[in-house]
Chain A
């Protein structure tokens, strides 16, 4: 089975802090994704990566950056955390082809105080 592991289930940070969310997958997938999920808004794509050192903006990239130095690891960075970034963050990975499902990590519930 595919395993996507996110570093923390719950995280509390303060406004203005730099926050790192880590994600690791063990299936040699080309694609990796970061989403945030908010009530009534569903899953919204922040950034995705289709190869090492490659990254593409999703629908809501503002206030975030990403890093993919190794194929199995995709990091989401909040450069200067703000309260409106309080959310559930989900990482996913998939094979490159469009007919392959995405596999999700358990999510990180991030609170910015």
Chain B
């Protein structure tokens, strides 16, 4: 089966750096996704990691360690607009089909 854990809530200050962790247990591994979801809006794709290491994309970076079943999303130079929920998700391939298993999400509040 699949199990994904993320902290429920985090707070941070504008301009700071924040790291959002995600641990997962899967019966097979096909990569890991991060999504951002602002309140009342649809989730939007941020990153996909399938190999170990850090992938940087502007102010956002995502890290993966397959041996530890661990990923994190790093947000630098935080802005107020980064206040959102961040969802970690892993694909599950079962019966010939792909579907995503989502964590419950981490709600990030950025304060001035």
Contacts and interface: CB of A to CB of B under 8 A. Distances in A.
Identify the interface centre among A33, A43, A48, A106: most chain B CB within 10 Å of its CB.
A43
B31 A98 contact: yes
Identify the interface centre among A31, A58, A102: most chain B CB within 10 Å of its CB.
A102
Interface string B36-49: 00001111110010
Given A42-B87, A50-B97, A99-B31, 4 more contacts: A45-B100, A56-B95, A58-B99, A107-B42
B102 interface: yes
B50 interface: yes
Interface of B: 30-31, 33, 40-45, 48, 50, 87, 91, 93, 95, 97-100, 102-105
Given A99-B31, A101-B45, A106-B41, A43 B99 contact: no
A97 B100 CA distance: 12
Contacts, number: 53
A31 B45 contact: no
A101 B48 contact: yes
Interface of A: 4, 31, 33, 40-43, 45, 48, 50, 56, 58, 90, 94, 96-99, 101-107
25 contacts: A4-B42, A31-B98, A40-B104, A42-B87, A42-B102, A42-B105, A43-B87, A43-B102, A48-B97, A56-B97, A94-B98, A98-B30, A98-B31, A98-B91, A98-B98, A99-B48, A99-B50, A99-B91, A101-B33, A102-B45, A102-B100, A104-B43, A105-B42, A107-B41, A107-B42
A107 to B, nearest CB: 6
Nearest to A43: B102
A31 B65 CA distance: 28
Identify the interface centre among B30, B41, B100: most chain A CB within 10 Å of its CB.
B100
A74 to B, nearest CB: 14
Nearest to B30: A98
Nearest to B105: A42
